[in-house]
Amino acid sequence: MWRADCDWRTSGRMCAMKHLFSTATRSLCLALGLTVIVQAANAQSDRTVALVVSVGEGTARADQVQSQLQEIGAETLRAVNPNNAEVRSVLRRFADESEDARAAFVYLDMPAVTFEGREYVLSDSAGLLAYQEELGRGTDLFTQSIPLLAFARTAALAEQGGAVVIAVNEPETGLPDAVSVVTEAPTTVPGASAIVVVDAANSEPVLQTIAAAAVGDTAVEIGALLRRMVVHDGVTVSAMPPLPIMLREPPASVVVPEPQVPVTAPVPEPEDVEPVVVAVAEPEPQVAQETLEELIILEQSLSRGAKRNLQRRLRDLDHYKGLVDGIFGPQTRTAITEFQTDRTDPPTGVLTRRQLLDLQASG
């Protein structure tokens, strides 16, 4: 077949070879692309992540939920009384983590209102939380709040999907006309996870459902968890997940090998053994004690991937419960301190060179 890059001076055989080479190259690129996609999908199979945000009186409840989600095995990101910019920043960060996870779960304990058919959550800096008559308008929500749907879309980014549970607090100072407190779950929309809504004052059954799953269920499936919640009065859900979403996978079955009958081998006759000369190792030279400033510089030189690896090691040792994100925040510092205390090392919260090597070797 003749192509545009073949003219009367090019032989038919050469054109055919060009066409064959071009087709083979495209096929190879397509195959490599599919391989990368499959590998990326397989890499998402283990992590579960959770976001917990509280504003006002819901802090104690949210702390309780965070502990239970950690018990289930989720890496948690926590925000307490964040302002509007902080909520948006946390949500963007959680979106990145959700894309790299099997399942995602969001718990919100904060004021939520509806205006012109849409639901919004109010951060700690929202002016409507200090509403005074004639000084606030419903349109203030566009700059002072976050759409509830944004959290549902973020949870849906996980490989299997996720869910949002919100315990709604009512603002104490009233609300402008046309703005009302959210009392039931919104209508489901494509590309968003399920949303469960409950009044904060009546949220105890929801909290107990999460707590029971944390300590009693070997496997935790989000759809089953939501169904246990909505049987209680005042708890509504936008829609149940259409497919299973495993927040905690069931334990793998252990195959017990059949006992083997030992075979008695003949005892060899002793041979003349030459004496073994034991070499005495010279003591290693003493290494100068590293200063805290040097250790901080060492830590800053680590790549994001290396920090993720250290967080995984701390998580395997049951010290770290946060997100494996390569960011050394307060949760990572606490985990490092616990690790150092277990070793009877000074609890500085910053790893020494020896501790770094030992953590890396533990994997």
Are residues 217 and 303 located together in one domain of the fold? no
Structurally, how many domains does the chain consist of? Answer: 2
End-to-end CA distance of the chain: 58
Are residues 243 and 298 located together in one domain of the fold? no
Beta bridge partners of 114: 119, 180
Listed range (123-127, 289-293, 308-312) with the worst mean pLDDT: 123-127
The DSSP code sequence of 131-193 is --TTT--GGGHHHHEEEHHHHHHHHTTSSSEEEEEEEEEPPTT---TTEEE--SPPPP-TT--
Residue 226: inside a domain? yes
Structure tokens at 1: 């077949």
Structure tokens at 213: 């799953």
Q: Read off the DSSP letter of residue 129.
A: G
pLDDT digits (tens, 9 = 90+) for 335-358: 999 999 999 899 999 998 888 888
Q: Which among 43, 354, 249, 9 is positioned nearest to 346, based on CA atoms?
A: 354
Are residues 168 and 59 located together in one domain of the fold? yes
Q: How confident is the model at residue 263 (pLDDT cuts 50, 70, 90)?
A: low
Are residues 78 and 167 located together in one domain of the fold? yes
Are residues 221 and 142 located together in one domain of the fold? yes
Question: What does each C-alpha distance from 75 to 69, 104, 322 come to in angstroms?
Answer: 8, 9, 5
How would you label 188-224 residue by residue, b for 16+ Cβ within 10 Å and e otherwise? eeeebbbbbbbbbeebebbbebbeebbeeeeebbbbb
Residue 108: inside a domain? yes
Q: How confident is the model at residue 194 (pLDDT cuts 50, 70, 90)?
A: very high
Say which amino acid occupies 208: Q
Q: Which of 248, 267, 301 is the last residue of a domain?
A: 248
Q: How confident is the model at residue 312 (pLDDT cuts 50, 70, 90)?
A: confident
**Domain of 344, in residue numbers:** 292-362
Residue 282: inside a domain? no
Residue 31: inside a domain? no
Residue 35: inside a domain? no
Are residues 188 and 56 located together in one domain of the fold? yes
Q: What is the distance between the alpha carbons of residues 104 and 95, in angstroms, rounded to a whole number?
A: 10
- Assess whether pLDDT exceeds 60 at residue 19: no
- Assess whether pLDDT exceeds 70 at residue 285: no
Q: What is the distance between the alpha carbons of residues 210 and 349, in angstroms, rounded to a whole number?
A: 32
Residue 210: inside a domain? yes
Are residues 302 and 229 located together in one domain of the fold? no
pLDDT digits (tens, 9 = 90+) for 79-127: 999 998 999 999 999 999 999 999 999 999 999 999 888 999 988 866 6
Q: Which of 248, 269, 300 is the last residue of a domain?
A: 248
pLDDT digits (tens, 9 = 90+) for 55-82: 988 899 999 999 999 999 999 999 999 9
Please say whether the beta carbons of 113 and 180 come within 8 A: yes
Residue 19: inside a domain? no
Are residues 339 and 229 located together in one domain of the fold? no
CA atoms within 13 A on the CB side of 282: 3
Are residues 309 and 217 located together in one domain of the fold? no
CATH of the domain at 87: 3.40.50.1460
Q: Which residues contact 11 (CB under 8 A, 6 or more apart)?
A: none
pLDDT digits (tens, 9 = 90+) for 237-254: 999 998 899 999 887 655
- Assess whether pLDDT exceeds 70 at residue 255: no
pLDDT digits (tens, 9 = 90+) for 141-190: 767 789 999 999 999 999 999 999 999 998 776 777 788 899 999 998 88
Are residues 185 and 300 located together in one domain of the fold? no
CATH of the domain at 313: 1.10.101
pLDDT of residue 21: 42
- Global pTM? 0.66
pLDDT of residue 20: 43
Listed range (22-31, 47-56, 144-153, 281-290) with the worst mean pLDDT: 22-31
Q: Which of 215, 232, 248 is the last residue of a domain?
A: 248
Are residues 84 and 138 located together in one domain of the fold? yes
- Assess whether pLDDT exceeds 80 at residue 32: no
Q: What is the distance between the alpha carbons of residues 47 and 75, in angstroms, rounded to a whole number?
A: 8
Are residues 83 and 151 located together in one domain of the fold? yes
Residue 34: inside a domain? no
pLDDT of residue 79: 94
Structure tokens at 178: 């046309």
Say which amino acid occupies 28: L
